Amino acid sequence: MADRAMIDVLKEKLGSIINDISQPRKRRIYLSVDRENVQEAARVIFYDLGGRLCTASGIDTMPGVEIIYHFFIEHPDYEKIMVNLKTLAPKPDLITKSVGAVFKAAEWIEREITEMFGVTFEGHPDPRKLLLADDWPEGLYPLRSDYPQKDVEGFEPQDVDEPHPDATHLL
Q: What's residue 79's pLDDT? A: 79
pLDDT of residue 10: 96
Q: Are 130 and 109 in contact (CB under 8 A)?
A: no
pLDDT digits (tens, 9 = 90+) for 6-51: 999 999 999 999 999 999 988 999 999 999 999 999 999 999 999 9
User: Going from the N-terminus, what domains does the chain have, and what CATH number goes with each?
Assistant: 3-132 (3.30.460.80)
Query: What's the 3-state SS for 46-77?
Result: HHHCCCEEEEEEEEECCCEEEEEEEEEECCCC
Mean pLDDT of 90-109: 97
Reported pTM: 0.86
Residue 1: what pLDDT? 43
Count Cβ atoms within 10 A of the Cβ of residue 144 and give its class: 0-12 exposed, 13-18 middle, 19 or more buried: middle
Nearest to 24 by CA among 81, 89, 88: 81
Cβ atoms < 10 Å from Cβ of 29: 20
* Phi and psi, residue 37, nearest 5°: -110, 0
Q: For 44-48, 59-63, 71-75, which range has the lowest pLDDT when averaged over its residues? A: 71-75
More confident residue, 146 or 123: 123
- Rounded to whole angstroms, the Cα distance separating 91 from 68 reads 17
